[in-house]
A and B are shown apart, each in its own frame.
Chain A
């Protein structure tokens, strides 16, 4: 059974760096075809993709946010970490980690999401 769970601070101050951890089970990120993404959703708004990391350590970032994002993986801990620098109130959102199915990535599973509020 595949599960993903996001963890991190519920509240961060403007200009701080956000660190989110996705802890997963039921698969290994060292297996070909495995990819983990981060997606966010501001309250009442649409989904916005942030970043993806693949089994071979390939990394992809949102064009508009790439200067602020870093994605990494710890295969031994079954974790993927996303850092986002210089947080702003507009970054308030529910942050999801997910496997999204496409040609080169198998399966489609989502975590429950974690709400991050940016406020002083």
Chain B
């Protein structure tokens, strides 16, 4: 049971816009910035979004992030077949001594 809650699956057709939600609490998303990762099969996660809505260099502007209160969202516009992957949200949690918490992951299918 992951601390951050994501829908297990999402889907869209090429060119469509899809959003993936991530729900947390006051000690994690409510207090700290959110990262989003893309994981292609058999590979390590790749940072897509940091600090809620910032894109590292090289990440297409089709990917965008937002945060409100204790929830965050990842939006992918102009969906492409290569976007089919697992997506994870992550945030530092200030409870106890501090720890990273991840979402359970959302498998995005491009139909």
Interface residues of A (CB under 8 A from B): 37, 39, 46-49, 52, 60-63, 96, 98, 100-103, 108, 110-113
Partner of B44, one of A37, A60, A110: A110
CB under 8 Å from chain A, chain B span 86-111: 88, 90, 92, 96-105
Total number of residue pairs linking A and B with CB closer than 8 Å: 61
Which of A37, A47, A96 gathers the greatest number of chain B CB atoms within 10 Å? A47
Interface status of B60 (Cβ within 8 A of chain A): no
- Chain B minimum-CB-distance residue to A48: B102
Q: What are 6 inter-chain pairs, A to B, with CB distance below 8 A?
A: A39-B102, A46-B102, A48-B102, A61-B99, A62-B99, A110-B46
Does the CB pair A49–B88 fall under 8 Å? Answer: no
The A interface is mostly helix, strand or loop, or mixed, namely loop
A34 to B88, CA, bound (A): 23
Contact residues on B (Cβ < 8 Å of other chain), bracket? 20 to 34
B32 within 8 Å of A (CB atoms): yes
Contact of A103 with B44 in the complex, beta carbons under 8 Å: no
Q: Is the CB of A111 within 8 A of B44?
A: yes
Contact A46 B44 (CB under 8 A): no
Q: How far is the CA of A111 from the CA of B43 in the complex (A)?
A: 10
Query: Does B78 sit at the interface, judged by CB under 8 A?
Result: no
Given contacts A46-B105, A49-B101, A113-B44, list 7 more A-B pairs with CB under 8 A: A47-B37, A47-B90, A49-B99, A98-B44, A98-B45, A102-B32, A110-B46
Pairwise interchain contact B99-A110, C-beta atoms closer than 8 A: no
